[in-house]
Amino acid sequence: MTAMNCDELMLRIQALEFTAVDLNLYLDTHPCDARALADYNQVVAALAQTVAAYEQAYGPLMNFGQSQSCARWAWVEQPWPWETQG
């Protein structure tokens, strides 16, 4: 994977997580669909990898013990999701 900047990593996370959300809802009503389950597990692994790369460079994406913080409390440093435009 070539190095992605902050926006590119976030877009990748959004795409992967959306795939996970949609497969999750599908599996809720089709729990025996082995192919969908394999797709879900594959996207979970890819998402975890991308989130780790993002968090290492730009700070935690989740609160309440779901993400490590660096030496500082970086949670409150990055802009919030609705602050996307100057």
Partner 1 sequence: MWVYEKKLEYPVKVSGPNPRLAKTVITQYGGPDGELAASLRYLTQRYSMPTSQAKGVLTDIGTEELAHMEIVAAIVYNLLKNAPLEQIKAAGMEGYYADHDRSLFFVNGDGVPWIAAYIQSKGDPITDLHEDMAAEEKARSTYEHLINLSDDPDVTDVLRFLREREVVHFQRFGETLNIVQEHLSSRKVW
Task: Please report, as ranges, the residues that interact with partner 1 according to CB under 8 A.
Answer: 10-11, 13-14, 17-18, 21-22, 24-26, 28-31, 60-64, 66, 75, 78, 80-82, 84-85
Return the axis-axis angle of helices 6-29 and 34-58, rounded to nearest 10°: 150
CB of 43 to partner 1, least distance (A): 15
Smallest distance, partner 1 to C-beta of residue 71, A: 19
| Distance of closest approach, residue 1 Cβ to partner 1, in angstroms | 19
CB of 27 closer than 8 Å to CB of 36: yes
* 13: CB partners within 8 A, 6+ apart: 47, 50, 51, 54, 61
